[in-house]
Structures are given as structure tokens and as C-alpha cells.
Amino acid sequence: MSATLQRPPEAGPPPEQKRSARSLADMVFRIRELSIGWALVLLVLGTWLANPGFLDDQGVKDLLLNSSILVLLAVGQSVVVLTRNIDLSVGSVVGLSAFACGSFVSGSDHSALTVLLLGTALGVLCGLVSGALVSFGKVPALVVTLGMLYVIQGVGHAWAHGEQINAANVPDGVLELGSGSVLGVPYLPLISAVVLAGTAYYLRAYRGGRELYAIGSHPEAARLAGIPIRRRVLAAYAFSGAVAGFAGALWLARFGTVVADAANGWELTVVSAVVVGGVAITGGVGTVWGAALGALLLTTMGSALVVLKVNPFWEQAITGVLLLAAISTDRVVRSRTTEALRKRSGK
């Protein structure tokens, strides 16, 4: 048994060299997070100078509300991307969850907590299906989640038959969750902040969170170290699904009137927010704080273009440019880190 636990000398550079290279990559991505924060500040200030109404009480509240659901989805997506995978089904899970929750509470007096639990449970179920196919079935994540996107959309359309849930039939307690506030701060961004902080703490302080980084950084090394890769990947997808289902319930609370394809097309927006926010698409590097900043940047950019009366086409074009720049940066950082490892191991 000892022979199977021993690591051959030629398996790679010493751990301290890997940690050094990893620190280099982390530093670069931290700088990118900081630059995104400054870009967000400059965008807000520039738009405010052009239109002072952009930062009035209602304008700030709208910014917080508009970004809260995207921030949630970016947090869930980040956990999956850290493991070198992706989840393209989050938008369809949001739509199905919102419609299912709306159908469940329509004309009843169910509480907001019941709606949140129902949406989360539905999301977990979708995430477990995707995660099982990726981790145990070893089917590429892109194929699995793209297939799940269409399956969930098909189920939603077959269920809805073109109908929609009207806000008049949604209990007041549920709608209050989407429109209420504490000391002037809406509930939705507060909920997003709690989920964001809790996830960030888990990834940093708990072994399971650190193992997700290890899986994304070097899957083979993680396997040799005894990390349960399949279970961790399955848990990551379950978490992403739970967050998406939870976000669907909040979508119902926020808008009241929903259809089965709510959040249709949000998949690429969520991935863009995560990658722009510094989470490497190749896994192992980045934080949920950066992903949240990316989501805030994209949401604020969309609102700013509307305020400035700029053609909405430019929002998609700018998002595409940011995504390409982020992926290119990831590639450069990875190649430089690999080169640094090679030089240090040769000494």
C-alpha cells in the first residue's frame, strides 16, 4: 500500500515551487479584480456627471436590484468554473424555478420562505443531474449543461403552454420580498451579499473549498492527493443549481409576472461576468468577490448605456470585448506561470 501512496520524484516540481507560481497567478488576478473595481467607479462617476439623476435614491436602488440576481448566479457559476467546468443551464433553471414557484403560490397564501425553499430544491435537482453526468458519467460539461439547457427549457414550455404567472395572483408576502427594504436598502441585494460572503468564506476557510481550487489547478495532482474529485464536482454543480433555483424564486418576488423562459439567454452573461471578474476559465484561480464585481460592472454598464441613450447593441459588443480580453489575460497568465515553473524546476 505504501507504494501506491508514494509520489514519484519525476511527477513534477516541488510543492514550494508550485506555491510560488500559484502566488504569481493569484497576484495577477487580484490586480485584475482591483482594476475592475476602478473601472466600475469610473463608469458610475462618468455616467453621473453626464446625468446626475443616475445616482439619485431611485437610481441607486434600481442598480442594486438589477444586479442582485446576476451577482447570485455569478457566485454559483464561479464555484463550478473553479473546477475547470461550466454550467450553461443556469438561465433555464431560473426560468423554470420562477414559473414553478409562481404556479405553486398562485392564488394561495404561501409564505416567501416556502417559495425560496421550493425554488432552491428544484435547482438542486437540476444541478445534481448535470453534476452526476459530468463527474460520474465523465461527459464533457459543455455538452451536458447545453443539453440540460434545452431539456429544462422544453419542460418549461410544455408546462406553461404559453401562459404566464400574473403578479395579481402572487401572495403579498412574496412580492414584499422583492420590493421591500431595510433602512432603505432592498432585501434582494442584502440576500445576495449574504450568499456572496458565505460562499467566499467557505472557499477560503474550509477544506472542501480549497479542494475545489486544487481540482481546477491540477486535476491529476488532486487525484494523487486523495481529493474526492467526483464528489466535489457534483457538489459544485448542486450548489450552482441551488443558487439558480433560489434566484428563480427571487425573480418571481422581484417581477411578479413571469413566463417559463424568464432569464432566457442569461447563461453567457453569467459566464462573462465570472470570467471578466477574474475567475480563470481554465479553473483554479479567482474569487467570488471578483465574479460579483464583474456582474456589477456588466449590469451598471447596461444601465449607463440606457441613461446615456446609447444603442443597446454596444452593450453586447463591449461585453464581448471584455470577455475576449479576460480570456486572453487568463491565457497569458497561465503560460507565464508555466514558464516560471519550468525555469525554477530546471535550476
For the segment 69-91, the average pLDDT, to the nearest whole number, is 95
Cell of 324: 475576449
Residue 11 has pLDDT above 80, yes or no: no
In the predicted structure, residue 17 carries a pLDDT above the cut 60: no
Percent of the chain with pLDDT over 70: 84
Question: Side-chain half-sphere of 135: how many Cα atoms within 13 Å?
Answer: 21
Rounded CA-CA distance 191/186 in Å is 9
Interval 113-137: pLDDT, tens: 999 999 999 999 999 999 999 999 9
pLDDT at 16 over 60: no
Instruction: Summarize the confidence of residues 16-32 as an average pLDDT.
Output: 56
Mean pLDDT, the chain, whole residue set: 84
Mean pLDDT of 12-22: 49
Model confidence, pTM: 0.84
Would the pLDDT of 3 be above 50? no
The per-residue pLDDT for 123 is: 96
Q: Write down the domain spans for the chain.
A: 16-48+66-336
DSSP 192-215: HHHHHHHHHHHHHHSHHHHHHHHH
Q: What is the pLDDT of residue 77?
A: 96
DSSP state of 186: E
* Residues whose CB falls within 8 Å of the CB of residue 330, separated by 6 or more in sequence, listed in order: 275, 280, 281, 282, 285
Banded model confidence at residue 6, pLDDT cuts 50, 70, 90: very low
Return the higher-pLDDT residue of 15 and 206: 206
The answer on pLDDT for 42 being more than 50 is yes
Average pLDDT over residues 30-42: 76
List the alpha helices (DSSP H) in 82-186: 90-105, 112-135, 141-160, 172-179
Asked whether residue 9 carries a pLDDT value surpassing 70, the answer given is no
238, 239, 258: which is closest to 248 by C-alpha? 258
pLDDT at 346: 56
Confidence of residue 24 (pLDDT cuts 50, 70, 90): low
Residue 195's pLDDT band (boundaries 50, 70, 90)? very high
Give SS3 for 165.
strand
d(CA 331, CA 338): 11
Q: Does the pLDDT of residue 15 top 70, yes or no?
A: no
The domain defined by 16-48+66-336 folds into ABC transporter involved in vitamin B12 uptake, BtuC (1.10.3470)
Could you give the percent of the chain with pLDDT greater than 90?
42
| Residue-level pLDDT at 340 | 62
pLDDT of res. 322: 74
Place of cell 467607479: 41
